[in-house]
Amino acid sequence: MSLLSRKISELQDRREKAVQGGGESAIAKQIAMGKLPARERINQLLDPGSFFEYDLFIEHEAREFGMEGKNLAGDGVVIGTGTINGKSIAIYAQDFTVAGGSLGSMHARKIAKIMDYALRMRIPLIGINDSGGARIQEGVNSLAGYGEIFFRNTLASGVIPQLSVILGPCAGGAVYSPALTDFVFVVDKISKMFITGPEVIKSVLGEEIDMESLGGARVHSEITGNAHFFANSEAECFTQIKTLLEYIPSCNECKAESIKPTEPLKKFKIEKIVPVDPTKPYDVRDVIKAITDSSQFFEVQEMWAGNIVVGFGRIDGRTVGFVANQPLVLAGVLDCDSSDKAARFIRFCDAFEIPIVTLEDMPGYLPGVDQEHAGVIRHGAKLLYAYSEATVPKITVILRKAYGGGYIAMNSRHLRADFVFAWPLAEIAVMGPEGAANIIFRKEIMEAEDPEAMRKQKVEEYKKKFANPYVAAAKGYIDSVIDPTETRNYLKHALSVSDNKVVKRPSKKHGIPPF
Ligand code: HXC
């Protein structure tokens, strides 16, 4: 055997040993929990044969508590680059079979290295989290490692898309890396995210709670809004990641890929979806599907703050971010959560040069003590800030109601919408006819012989005067009143004419959004 052959054989032996993770029994335990081993996850997500792994032979630096000399394969994390549907990406996957995927200093250094690559190469970063958190035996060194990761998450924010996939526990401070990234994917029964676990809660507060109810996939998809995509299995989660990557660009200076345009499906008849009666609900997603190529719509945060719908679709082959009030939930009213949801999505689209189409039909901000005390002023302001700040092409279609502060907030001309179109049913006013008539004609109504008849008459008077799109059209606040069936054509044209949009803003270090 030649020297080279011996060296190659040694390399193969080392490789084989290194990829065994935490060994057979730990891998069997992982699989029994319905979880795939780290490399298997990468193989399922990436194009076959496209993955190149780095730092396979890294050695951990834990010395205390009997850790010296312990074999922790790859220090519990797999890093590398590869492709997904031909698109280059950088990825890390924590390996729970090795010391519970806990984050020691070398583990953190590997993650930092792949983050640095992703940022330098301007390619999306995908992080698969499956870890017991800071490696307890490494003390402050593991905490330092988290700090390095959080710093890089922030540095890369708005430059490359960052996707966090929670496929196991993600406990303690570890949750803050996903929270700093753009999209968080969770899988039912597998994902667990919390700052303090059940044991700490029991000892500090004396309360018993299981991990699932504390921070399971449903909790983060329906209640906290921390998760953006919910899946029933790891395989479904990987499909969602692949779909998302098809819509978005690889970096802030690259354009999202355009594909061959297709027409919406004929079954979505746009003129039949929105009821004439402004109090009747409908599913705004049907309007989106009546507009997009092949009626495809990839919704983000579908299970949280349902009164606003956000997500990606294509018009004439190009990616568009949709923000739409949802009359099916709370009449599409704006509140704290829906403002947060939309503001964050708008900022993502703006950072990555994705034009925003806003579909408006809402009665304004939700009144009430709960909302006021929850900070609807601060949260609602995020929406105003995000729309005002965005310089990508911004187009609004007012479908029906556009009342009060909501009219301004939903990408009005006044926040620098490039195009505002309104359907003939649109009602643009300070508030709805009933409320308005009761306030401004209170005296006449009270003093009338038949107050109810007078109220009705005044409501009709108000409707005639203000509950239409023509007052706003007369001022140029909307550009065109359009037939609903013309919507896609108007949007196609508006998007194409905005292709070279340039906006200059005052120079500043950065703004101070109402976080
Ligand atoms: C070192 C750890 C570890 C950790 C797990 N392990 N977490 N080792 N540091 N943080 C090890 C276990 O000792 C065990 O080793 C193996 O991983 C598998 O763990 P199990 O407990 O057997 O698994 P399971 O029953 O599935 O429970 C998973 C778990 C639990 C819920 C995640 O391990 C757990 O509660 N771990 C601690 C979570 C935590 O509090 N982490 C610190 C958070 S504070 P053996 O050798 O027996 O197989 C934090 C601060 C970061 O992260 C701050 C940044 C700003």
Residues 177, 208: one domain? Answer: yes
How many helices and strands, by DSSP H and E, does the chain display?
21, 16
Q: Is the pLDDT of residue 70 over 90?
A: no
Q: How far is the CA of 102 from the centre of ligand 1 (A)?
A: 6
The amino acid at residue 350 is D
Residues 402, 439: one domain? Answer: no
Residues 67, 178: one domain? Answer: yes
Q: With H, G, I as helix, E, B as strand and everything else as coil, classify residue 162.
A: strand
Is residue 505 domain-resident?
no
> What pLDDT digit, counting tens, does each position of 448-463 carry?
999 999 999 988 988 8
Q: Is the pLDDT of residue 62 over 90?
A: no
CB atoms within 10 A of CB 159: 15
Mutate to test the pocket of ligand 1, among 136, 151, 189, 195 (most ligand atoms within 8 A of CB): 136
Mean pLDDT of 196-224: 94
CB 512 within 8 A of CB 398: no
Amino acid 310: pLDDT: 98
Q: How far is the CA of 192 from the centre of ligand 1 (A)?
A: 13
Confidence of residue 61 (pLDDT cuts 50, 70, 90): confident
Which ligand 1 atom sits nearest the alpha carbon of residue 199?
Answer: 35
Residues 74, 92: one domain? Answer: yes
Amino acid 234: pLDDT: 97
> What pLDDT digit, counting tens, does each position of 268-297 carry?
999 999 999 999 999 999 999 999 999 999
Is residue 254 domain-resident?
no
Confidence of residue 72 (pLDDT cuts 50, 70, 90): confident
Amino acid 43: pLDDT: 97
Which ligand 1 atom sits nearest the alpha carbon of residue 211?
Answer: 31
As a whole-number percent, the residues of the chain with pLDDT over 90 amount to: 88
Is residue 154 domain-resident?
yes
Residues 450, 341: one domain? Answer: no
Is residue 204 domain-resident?
yes
Amino acid 465: pLDDT: 84
Amino acid 507: pLDDT: 96
Burial class (CB in 10 A: 0-12, 13-18, 19+), 356: buried
Mean pLDDT of 204-210: 93
Residue with the smallest CA separation from ligand 1 atom 46 is: 99
380-391 burial: b if 16+ Cβ within 10 Å, else e: bbbbbbbbbbbe
Which ligand 1 atom sits nearest the alpha carbon of residue 29?
Answer: 26
Q: How far is the CA of 234 from the centre of ligand 1 (A)?
A: 22
Confidence of residue 438 (pLDDT cuts 50, 70, 90): confident
The amino acid at residue 451 is P
Residues 316, 179: one domain? Answer: no
Q: Is the pLDDT of residue 391 over 90?
A: yes
The CA radius of gyration of the chain, in Å to the nearest whole number, is 27
Tokens, residue 480: 């065109």
Q: With H, G, I as helix, E, B as strand and everything else as coil, classify residue 422.
A: strand
Residue at token pair 């953190």:
108
Is residue 67 domain-resident?
yes
Is residue 511 domain-resident?
no
Residues 453, 424: one domain? Answer: no
Which residues have a Cβ under 8 Å from the Cβ of 161 and sit 6 or more positions away?
A: 124, 125, 182, 183, 245, 248, 249, 250, 251, 352
Amino acid 417: pLDDT: 98
Residues 389, 450: one domain? Answer: no
Amino acid 116: pLDDT: 98
Q: How far is the CA of 171 from the centre of ligand 1 (A)?
A: 9
Confidence of residue 63 (pLDDT cuts 50, 70, 90): confident
Q: Is the pLDDT of residue 150 over 90?
A: yes
> What pLDDT digit, counting tens, does each position of 153-197 carry?
999 999 999 999 999 999 888 899 999 999 999 999 999 999 988
Residue with the smallest CA separation from ligand 1 atom 33 is: 132
Residues 31, 93: one domain? Answer: yes
Residues 475, 444: one domain? Answer: no
Which residues have a Cβ under 8 Å from the Cβ of 275 and sit 6 or more positions away?
A: 281, 282
Q: Is the pLDDT of residue 436 over 90?
A: no
Q: How far is the CA of 96 from the centre of ligand 1 (A)?
A: 9
Is residue 503 domain-resident?
no
Counting the structural domains of the chain, the total is 3
Is residue 45 domain-resident?
yes
CATH number for the domain that contains residue 201: 3.90.226.10
The pTM of the full predicted model, rounded to 2 decimals, is 0.95
Residue with the smallest CA separation from ligand 1 atom 36 is: 132
Residues 348, 387: one domain? Answer: yes
Q: How far is the CA of 176 from the centre of ligand 1 (A)?
A: 17
Residues 174, 295: one domain? Answer: no
Q: Is the pLDDT of residue 1 over 90?
A: no
Taken as a whole, the chain contains a residue count of 515
Burial class (CB in 10 A: 0-12, 13-18, 19+), 214: middle
Confidence of residue 39 (pLDDT cuts 50, 70, 90): very high
Q: How far is the CA of 99 from the centre of ligand 1 (A)?
A: 8
* Ligand 1 binding residues, C-beta < 6 A: 99-100, 102, 132-136, 143, 146, 169, 171-174, 197
Cα separation, 209 vs 52, in Å, equals 41
What region, left, alpha or beta, does residue 86 occupy, with left being phi > 0 and alpha being psi -120 to 50 degrees? left
Domain boundary among 247, 282, 300: 247
> What pLDDT digit, counting tens, does each position of 303-324 carry?
999 999 999 999 999 999 999 9
The amino acid at residue 62 is A
Amino acid 145: pLDDT: 96
Cα separation, 410 vs 395, in Å, equals 10
Work out the mean pLDDT of the chain and round it to a whole number.
Answer: 95
Which ligand 1 atom sits nearest the alpha carbon of residue 100?
Answer: 17
Q: How far is the CA of 215 from the centre of ligand 1 (A)?
A: 16
Amino acid 64: pLDDT: 80
The amino acid at residue 235 is A
Name the strand (E) or helix (H) holding 211.
helix 211-215
Q: Is the pLDDT of residue 431 over 90?
A: no
Residue with the smallest CA separation from ligand 1 atom 16 is: 100
Q: How far is the CA of 191 from the centre of ligand 1 (A)?
A: 15
> What pLDDT digit, counting tens, does each position of 114-145 carry?
999 999 999 999 999 999 999 988 889 999 99
Residue with the smallest CA separation from ligand 1 atom 9 is: 135
Which ligand 1 atom sits nearest the alpha carbon of residue 22?
Answer: 48
Mean pLDDT of 28-35: 93
- The Cα angle at residue 514 between residues 288 and 217, in degrees rounded to 5: 55
187-202 burial: b if 16+ Cβ within 10 Å, else e: bbebbbbbeebbeeee
Q: Is the pLDDT of residue 251 over 90?
A: yes
- State which residues form the domain around 194: 3-247
